[in-house]
Structure formats: C-alpha cells, structure tokens
Amino acid sequence: MVQYRLTASKTKLYALAKRDFPGIEPMRRTEFIRYPGGHSYGLRFWAGACACRLYLAPCCGRVSLAYERSNLDEPGDGAARWESRTLDLDELKEFGLLEEIPGGPTT
C-alpha cells in the first residue's frame, strides 16, 4: 500500500479554486496560507463581488475542502456561507496535491 502526504502550493490551490469559481481574480491577487502545525492550507480571493476563502486539510484519513463565501452585494451584508466536501484520490492526484512518502509500506 502506498502512503501519501498532502502538499499544496498557491498554484495548485488556485487551479482547484478556478474549477469551482471560474470568475476568480488573477492569481497574483490571491493570498496563499500555510497553517502552522500540520498540512492545512488556505487561499483567500475574490470572485466577482464574492469574498472567498478556501480551506484544505486532512481529517481522519481523508482530505476535506471547504469554501467560505461572503457576497457583499446581497442583503445581510457580509453573511458568510460555508460549503464542504471530501476530495477523492483522483481529484487530489489531478491537482498534484499528493506527495508519495518514500520508504512507506508497499504491496
């Protein structure tokens, strides 16, 4: 069995966010965040009038992806909505978010 480690960069998270938010601002205007104490990552960006934050983290052997959206054009100014889902192995590999751990157990 091959073991993997979650790894991310601004470019990889931007590509992932662009799939769900085609109107995302240019990458140079986004903010990449590497949270201390583990393999958790974030990306802050604007998509139109929506302030967004992406959060990617391993949890219980799976990788969770969460988006926070705050639409400033709607009533209830600044009200945030969270959406969350688990990414499957194929999605993680497609965006280059996995790094194989050398010397891990093999089958």
Quick: pLDDT tens for 52-96. 999 999 988 899 999 998 876 655 555 678 899 999 999 999 999
Alpha helices in the chain (DSSP H): 10-20, 89-94
Q: Give the pTM.
A: 0.83
Read off φ and ψ for residue 105, nearest 5 degrees: -60, 145
**Can you give the pLDDT at residue 66?**
95
**Can you give the pLDDT at residue 44?**
96
